[in-house]
Structure 1
Amino acid sequence: MTALVAERGADQVSLSAVAQRARVNPSTLYRRWGTLAALLVDVAERHGDAGAPPPVGDLRTDLENQAAWTLTELSRPGGIAFFRAEIAPDIDERHTGLRECLRRVSDRFAPVLDASRERGEMPPSLEQVLDRIVAPLYFRVVFSIPGTDEAYVRGLVAELLGKPERR
């Protein structure tokens, strides 16, 4: 499934194409998932955060690492296609997909912030991280804005934390 999305893009993939690639009857996929968007959400969820960097115990470094990993995942072949698929044409599916996407991203950053609080620090809120780090990454990847790289990620984190960027 992931390879097919990477080759064609999510908008050019159908449940029938997935079934053909998997060498199963399309009705099997329709019974299990019903829609392509549901299948893509399931694949993204199963992929989860495999390969995400473990926390190191420094807020700035942990935020930079999680943000850089998020950027890498979005930028990989097919990565943004899964996000786009969560924005399904059906309004209920769209809301479900977007909530799931937000949950996955929140689950990636919340432990970093929680650990920082446990160390007695005053980290930004999860909402601030989503607004000031995650949202710009998604926006820039969706619109293919040049310069969206690890240096950009470090700058977002530095700006959020109100500290000059390390050199």
Structure 2
Amino acid sequence: MNSQPPDPPPAEPVRRTGGRSARVCAAVHRAVTELIAEGGADQLSIPAVATRAGVNPTSVYRRWGDLNGLLADVTATRLAPEDPPPDTGSLRTDLLQWAERTRAAITTPEVQALLRHAVGQSATCPGPTPRMAAREQQLATILTRAAERGEPSPTLGQGLDHLLAPLYFRVILNLGPIEPADARRLVDDLLRHHTGTCNSTA
């Protein structure tokens, strides 16, 4: 009879987070945004991105498949809201802060180029994109909170049509710069026409 204790179970493999994979991803994303800002999405290629990022093109193909897959990932990452929706206790203040964050996020040269490319790809990718879905969810949260506080609130559809869509529309069609005052005006127009309330002194 063997009195030796049983061998311990094999150790679980150590899963590394970050590391080289994260560095490669960050370098590739940075290369895409730099190249797009310089020449637009139409001038991009996997070899050009790989050269700028200092990685092997094979690594880019293996991770993202093709240029469209890479651009979709970069766009979703760059446009994903980094902060939770504002919760100041006032619908107008929440909308003002949210609209300004959105305006600032989508008016950089690289994001404008990414958005225009995404529109060109939308015919083969029906339905809401993750980047728009995230903004829509934030707006829905703001409006729901206001309604729960008893504030007169527009519907989500009204918010999309009269606030979010105009911001994106002007960027995508290159209709000129969008200033902070433009975002404030859109918020006040939304509240004035769909709730009958607007305090433009803030």
TM range (shorter): 0.7 to 0.9
TM-score by structure 2 length? 0.71
Give the CA RMSD over aligned residues.
2.4
Q: Indicate yes or no: 2:200 matched with 1:166.
A: yes
What corresponds to 1:131 in structure 2? 161
Code of the aligned partner of 1:108 = Q
| CA 147–24 in structure 1, closer or farther in 2 if over 3 Å, else same | closer
Residue 51 of structure 1 and its aligned partner are, at CA, apart by 5.4
Residue 60 of structure 1 and its aligned partner are, at CA, apart by 0.8
Q: 2:131 aligns with which of 96, 101, 115?
A: 101
Aligned to 2:126, the other structure's residue is in SS state helix
Between the aligned partners of 1:118 and 1:6, the Cα distance in structure 2 is 42
Between the aligned partners of 1:90 and 1:66, the Cα distance in structure 2 is 25
Greater RCO (Cα-Cα under 8 Å, separation 6 or more):
1
Q: Does the 8 Å contact 2:85/2:138 carry over to 1? A: no
The number of equivalent residue pairs is 165
Aligned to 1:95, the other structure's residue is in SS state coil
> Greater shift after overlay, 72-81 or 144-153?
144-153
Q: Does the 8 Å contact 1:56/1:62 carry over to 2? A: yes
Q: Indicate yes or no: 2:115 matched with 1:76.
A: no
Code of the aligned partner of 1:127 = G
What corresponds to 2:73 in structure 1? 42
Specify the structure having the higher radius of gyration (Cα): 2
TM-score by structure 1 length? 0.83
Between the aligned partners of 1:74 and 1:3, the Cα distance in structure 2 is 15
| CA 116–165 in structure 1, closer or farther in 2 if over 3 Å, else same | closer
Percent pairwise identity:
39
Residue 46 of structure 1 and its aligned partner are, at CA, apart by 2.8
| CA 55–2 in structure 1, closer or farther in 2 if over 3 Å, else same | farther
Residue 2 of structure 1 and its aligned partner are, at CA, apart by 2.0
Q: Which runs of 5+ in 1 are unaligned?
A: none
